[in-house]
Amino acid sequence: MLSEIKEPGPGFDYFLNTPCNDWDVVQYHEFWKKSNFGLDKVSVTRRFNTQLQKIKEQGTEEEKNNAIRLKKQFQHYLFILGQMANPKVLKRDVYWMVTTMERIKSTINTIISSHLPTGSSLNRHSYCRKSNSSPKKIRVPIA
């Protein structure tokens, strides 16, 4: 049980006051910041890892599982931040994202165009034709 952990250190109130299913790295950091414990990256990380280790050793099964989940979430955020700090990776990812979006846009336009009546153009309105009836105008919102 969390309340029985000895010398948990600053910031542990977050774990005591938050249901373990709701534990989140960003919320932990915000709690730490609001509590004015100082934002030294090394201190926050060390304390966070120490507290998670104590939870894994002394917590209930549910708390242990959520501590493992939180540790993985933290490692994922560190990986993402590390990738963002590398300008080559960021530039490559932005290029990949833009070219992928262009391919998707082109594919969608091709699919839509293939379903339009001959001679129609792609515009704000799509026309549907029911059998033996005149075309019906349907408004399609533009995102």
68 in Cβ contact with 59 (< 8 Å): no
74-107 as b/e, with b when 16 or more CB fall inside 10 Å?
A: beeeeeeeeeeeeeeeeeeeeeeeeeeeeeeeee
Say which residue, 108 or 130, is predicted with more confidence.
108
11-26: pLDDT as tens digits: 888 898 889 899 988 8
43-96: pLDDT as tens digits: 888 888 999 999 999 989 999 999 999 999 888 877 776 666 666 666 666 677
Nearest-CA neighbor of 48 among 87, 95, 56?
A: 56
pLDDT of residue 126: 47
98-120: pLDDT as tens digits: 778 888 888 887 787 777 666 55
